[in-house]
Structure 1
């Protein structure tokens, strides 16, 4: 397995990780998680709020990941997050909440320490110095090893990094979400911070498997997102068709092409595609063998330039959490 370094503090992970947000609590998910580890995936990404959307409970997905890791702890890097709550319309980052959250996540995961701990979304009412200062104390106490932020502004990243070196910034990045290229991605290169790309396949849109709105289950959260609705959907489908055509010529899948492009954007970038199925994990890992020439990259730039996606990437409430 090819590996990449996240930051300058010693964190090294597989070049592709695995996002676990949409994994149901069942045996297939355990099989997928353990199978991914067997294939060489070392980075598993979860959060305290994953898995509990329907009933407002924290730690559900963390418990799933924890069960899958029994006997395999030394083979993986576990990343989890805090800050998004069911009880408030804004994320939280005060010192007391950080400490409460890390203890709850350690309990749910069944671990003695967390490898990479993120603030899931910024708390604009709490100075980032307080949040990251508390996380730095948790590093000293051995509860976490490395610190990250998710969907934070360049200014917040700089201030946080001055308190304690950040190992990773996690943010959306894909062929149809390239906003990060303006400021955040260059900043991670400047400061020596890793970049973890979530939704690297456009929440499944870039796989080519979604051809109509009705392909989404009735309870699928993506139905709420503007890019999956109405005329936006049709316009975005046109871009995916071009990606599919190029992938066919390259003799790879659209997913592999999209991931290979991301990997080409910088050595500090680690995509974490999410899937419930082990065969998709195996397929995604094939992206590591896809070679993109200068002509290939130029063609991708032509068919999917920055700003090509139609519609906002989040529903309105979630947009309020993103800097």
Structure 2
């Protein structure tokens, strides 16, 4: 298992975004059951964000509630928090923006759990990454955060940031639908610098859960309705890939979710030469889904070869993000 900041983490982590960004928010007591079960099953790398949910009820408020209820679990979790970003105004990697974001996160958590890794959610194009990292180093030296992460960044930004201070983790989207980091140098940079790669949305925002078969399965007020891959002109085209992955899963007699997560894991050490440690962080909203996602599946080489062949001949339609947020990828 990879080691993050001196503590072993499981091969699969847990993303809290789905628990707090929903058209129908999950009551905290129900969300806590999902979190507790994920930890029991070994998913001790938890990923949350200042931007996951409204300012008065985001994922940090849920974390504060959880660790008030289970203070003994605070020593078991490696917590990664994203901040320094607003969907309205974009990233703020200035020293002032960094301090405002970190201080807000610390205030909400009330010291109930330590922030193992703090990462700007996007690279600020108006601020050198070195300046952003330097501001975070102050908090590392003060013992207020454990380490520094990056998210949705380029290979160049990783190397420049690493030159200022060791980077603890790089969080990027990686799934059967989103494979750019395997081709744009990000995975190579993480491998060379021995930085774990945290793979968010390994189930492609629900495409690979088996629960989304038509656009009608997604509520009209669901944020996915704004994404290019979930538009009427692209959705059915993308379902071709889903259906073929489902066929491969059926041949192996495992759920499609396990095929998708196992493929993401297979892109890291020791399966792939010159690859970083890869830790997927699927979002789960029910205990049953946690139990399914965290059941380790192994894809033999013939299945991996089938998937690789499938990916060569099946296109993904639509970008990962649209609107303003699209400008902040690979920063």
In the alignment, the residues of structure 2 paired with residue 213 and residue 167 of structure 1 have an alpha-carbon distance, to the nearest angstrom, of: 38
Aligned counterpart for 2:6 among listed residues 1, 10, 16: 10
Residue number in structure 2 paired with 1:131: 132
In the alignment, the residues of structure 2 paired with residue 195 and residue 215 of structure 1 have an alpha-carbon distance, to the nearest angstrom, of: 31
Cα displacement (A) at 1:178: 0.3
**Matches of residues 33-52 of structure 1 in structure 2 within 5 Å?**
33-52=35-54
Residue number in structure 2 paired with 1:314: 321
In the alignment, the residues of structure 2 paired with residue 177 and residue 102 of structure 1 have an alpha-carbon distance, to the nearest angstrom, of: 29
CA deviations on 1:50-82 (whole Å, 9 max, x unpaired) are 111xxxx26621110221123110111111011
Distance 1:171 1:283, change over 3 A: same
CA deviations on 1:158-192 (whole Å, 9 max, x unpaired) are 10010001111101000010011111111111111
**Matches of residues 122-201 of structure 1 in structure 2 within 5 Å?**
122-182=123-183, 183-201=185-203
Distance 1:285 1:113, change over 3 A: closer
Cα displacement (A) at 1:305: 3.6
CA contact (8 A) 2:87 2:325 kept: no
1:248 aligns with 2:250: yes
Distance 1:233 1:86, change over 3 A: closer
Q: How many residues align?
A: 312
Structure 1 unaligned regions, length at least 5:
none
1:283 aligns with 2:292: yes
Distance 1:306 1:260, change over 3 A: farther
In the alignment, the residues of structure 2 paired with residue 152 and residue 301 of structure 1 have an alpha-carbon distance, to the nearest angstrom, of: 25
Secondary structure of 1:139's match?
helix
1:22 aligns with 2:31: no
Aligned counterpart for 2:307 among listed residues 268, 288, 300: 300
Cα displacement (A) at 1:306: 8.8
Greater mean alpha carbon deviation, residues 139-148 or residues 303-312:
303-312
Secondary structure of 2:267's match?
coil
Secondary structure of 2:219's match?
coil
CA deviations on 1:99-119 (whole Å, 9 max, x unpaired) are 121111012122263101111
Q: TM-score, normalised by structure 2?
A: 0.90
CA contact (8 A) 2:74 2:114 kept: no
Residue number in structure 2 paired with 1:110: 110
Secondary structure of 1:96's match?
helix
Distance 1:58 1:137, change over 3 A: farther
Cα displacement (A) at 1:11: 4.6
CA deviations on 1:240-265 (whole Å, 9 max, x unpaired) are 11111111111110000010111111
